[in-house]
């Protein structure tokens, strides 16, 4: 079994344990490894424009807001943007701040016909620590995976 298959199997096992309605759940480092090795894998960052501008971006990620700022209202064009930017045959990994919106995005995309959807649990900033600061315990930033500040 190859490394890609091994990681995806772990993600699929998590999804079964968590009773998720999509293919799998990956940790940020697993997601990064998939993006580096699986041809055609796509990372869809569903954070708001404000988060992307002020907190940081992941190079190469497709940016489609699930909820718009201000007000965090549903982006009525989410599925249209998915159709335009992400092939339904792609392995799709969704990421947000901490894994909640990306969980929703994976559900919506799966219902919309993308069969290989994975949530990046812990997300970009991860869980808050005792001082209520994110980006230090877990998540994409805490693992020092590639990101940039605008």
Q: With beta carbons less than 8 A apart as the criterion, state whether 30 and 12 touch.
A: no
118 three-class SS: strand
* Both tokens assigned to 40: 């055609």
Tell me what pLDDT residue 134 has. 86
Threshold 0.75, pTM exceeds: yes
Which CATH fold topology does 3-120 show?
Answer: Oxidized Rhodanese; domain 1 (3.40.250)
Say which residues have a Cβ less than 8 Å from residue 75's Cβ, sequence separation at least 6.
64, 65, 66, 67, 68, 81
Q: HSE on the CB side for 132, CA within 13 Å?
A: 0
Distances (CA, A) of 97 to 40, 67, 72, 117: 24, 12, 13, 17
Tell me what pLDDT residue 53 has. 95
Tell me what pLDDT residue 51 has. 95
- pLDDT (tens, 9 = 90+) of the chain, 150 residues, equals 699 999 999 999 999 999 999 999 999 999 999 999 999 999 999 999 999 999 999 999 999 999 999 899 999 999 999 999 999 999 999 999 999 999 999 999 999 999 999 999 999 999 988 988 888 889 999 999 999 997
Closest C-alpha among 91, 93, 150, 102 to residue 125: 102
pLDDT tens digits along 66-80:
999 989 999 999 999
Tell me what pLDDT residue 1 has. 66
């Amino acid at each position: 079994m190859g490394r890609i298959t091994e990681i995806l199997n772990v993600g699929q096992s998590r999804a079964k344990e968590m009773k998720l309605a999509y293919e799998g759940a990956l940790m940020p480092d697993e997601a990064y490894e998939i993006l580096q090795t699986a041809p055609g894998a796509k990372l869809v960052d569903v954070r708001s424009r404000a988060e992307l501008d002020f907190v940081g971006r992941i190079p190469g990620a497709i940016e489609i807001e699930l909820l718009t700022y201000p007000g965090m209202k549903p982006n009525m064009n989410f599925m249209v943007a998915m159709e335009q930017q992400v092939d339904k045959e792609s392995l799709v990994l969704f990421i947000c701040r901490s894994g909640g919106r990306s969980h929703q995005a994976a559900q919506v995309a799966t219902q919309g016909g993308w069969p290989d959807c994975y949530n990046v649990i812990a997300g970009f900033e991860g869980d808050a620590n005792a001082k209520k600061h994110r980006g230090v315990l877990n998540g994409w930033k805490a693992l020092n995976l590639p990101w940039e500040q605008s």
